[in-house]
Structure 1
Amino acid sequence: MFEAGDIREWRGHDVVDEKGRKMGTLESVYVDTATDEALFATVTMGLPTRRRLVFVPLVGATVGPGYLKVIHPRNLVKKAPSIDTDGVLAAEAEPAVFAHYGLDYVPGAGGERRLARR
């Protein structure tokens, strides 16, 4: 395995937890608006009739043949903030995404959003 360079190229691939258990598929990448570095991914999860996009941090993520491995356990990811498959992350929901994983949330100097979908 190696660290994911351009994670956007991995859309549609399986996302697995630290034990290699499949959680879903990579749908999109959210970058830090200040640095343009990938911070979070959305993973398609749920039953076929009730799919949702769940946020998971990309810090420490690695890639293998046909999959992206994140460092967070599946149960934590399943309970993470999510949006509908055609939804958009609201600005006021950003702090909850960071808080779920114990990450600090600091908006831009002028109160700008921290995450942007790429």
Structure 2
Amino acid sequence: MIQMADIREWRNQEVVDPGGHKIGELESVYVDTSTGEPAMATVRVGMPTRHRLVFVPWRAAMVGPGYVRVAHDKKLVKRSPSIDTDGVLPFEDEGAVFRHYGLAYEPGANGERQLARR
């Protein structure tokens, strides 16, 4: 597994899908608030004058020379819920990110967020 300290070093590196197709650049990582482990990443996509951040699960991510490979296809990632490059994922939109990838969404027992940006 890629350690959190190592993830910070990969910021702005290319993110590619399993076929090696470029998706965008790694922006940040969101951890699972119950475990502290990386759960999702945001990837900067779009035209040079109009970027947005899309979410992709971090599970099974691997690093290579100059890139991070995620386990999901480029088309699926680019259609995922997104935020502005200076935005924050609203609490009410967290579930949609998980559903997009067919993952279970489980907020905390008292309704706490499942994701926190690091």
Q: TM-score range by the shorter chain?
A: over 0.9
CA displacement at 1:4 relative to structure 2: 2.2
SS of 1:51's equivalent in the other structure is strand
SS of 1:107's equivalent in the other structure is coil
**TM-score (norm. length: structure 1):** 0.95
SS of 1:52's equivalent in the other structure is strand
Structure 1: 4+ residue segments shifted above 4 A: none
Structure 2 unaligned runs (5+)?
none
SS of 1:46's equivalent in the other structure is strand
Out of 1, 4, 9, the position equivalent to 2:2 is 4
Please name the residue that 2:85 is paired with: 85
Does the alignment pair 1:15 with 2:18?
Answer: no
CA displacement at 1:44 relative to structure 2: 0.3
Percent of aligned pairs with the same amino acid: 64
Please name the residue that 2:48 is paired with: 48
1:15-34 matches, within 5 Å, as 15-34=15-34
**TM-score (norm. length: structure 2):** 0.95
Does the alignment pair 1:101 with 2:63?
Answer: no
Aligned length: 116
The amino acid across from 2:86 in the alignment is: D
Structure 1 unaligned runs (5+)?
none
What is the alpha-carbon root mean square deviation over aligned residues? 0.8
Q: Deviations over 1:7-43 (max 9, x none)?
A: 2221111100000111110000000011110000000
After superposing the two structures, state which structure 1 stretch, 57-66 or 7-16, moved more.
Answer: 7-16
The amino acid across from 2:99 in the alignment is: A
